[in-house]
Amino acid sequence: MRLSWRLSSRSEDRFETWIAQRHQERVLTGETTAVGPCPDQAFLRDLARRSKRITLSDPRVDHAASCPECMKRLLAFRNVDRSRRRKLTAAAAFAACLLVAAVFVSVTEYRAPRKQSAANAAVASVTVDLFDAGTIRGEQPGALQSVLLPASVVKVTVILPRFSPAGQYAVAVTQDQNGNGVVAQGGAAATSNGDHVTVSVELDLRKAKAGAYFLATIHEQDQASYYYPLRIK
Residue range 185-198: mean pLDDT, rounded: 89
Residues 6+ apart with CB under 8 A from 161: 130, 131, 132, 133, 135, 226
> Is the pLDDT score of 132 beyond 90?
no
Of the listed ranges 41-45, 49-53, 107-111, 213-217, the least confidently predicted one is 107-111
Q: What's residue 113's pLDDT? A: 56
Instruction: Give the chain's length.
Output: 233
Res. 1 pLDDT band, cuts 50 70 90? very low
Of the listed ranges 48-57, 64-73, 98-107, 117-126, the least confidently predicted one is 117-126
Instruction: Give the closest residue to 129 by CA, choosing from 191, 197, 183.
Output: 197
Which contacts qualify for 162-168: CB closer than 8 Å, 24 or more apart?
162/131, 162/132, 162/195, 164/190, 164/197, 164/219, 165/190, 165/197, 165/219, 165/221, 166/190, 166/191, 166/192, 166/197, 167/219, 167/220, 167/221, 168/219, 168/220
Q: What's residue 140's pLDDT? A: 43
Q: What's residue 121's pLDDT? A: 57
Of the listed ranges 26-30, 80-84, 130-134, 218-222, the least confidently predicted one is 130-134
Indicate the domain borders of the chain.
32-120, 123-232
The CATH number of domain 123-232 is 2.60.40 = yes
CA separation for the pair 210, 200 (Å, rounded): 23
CA separation for the pair 99, 184 (Å, rounded): 38
Give the chain's mean pLDDT: 80
Q: Please count the other Cβ atoms lying within 10 Å of the Cβ belonging to residue 226.
A: 23
Instruction: Give the closest residue to 164 by CA, choosing from 207, 203, 133, 186.
Output: 133
CA-only gyration radius of the chain, Å: 41
Position with higher pLDDT, 201 vs 14: 201
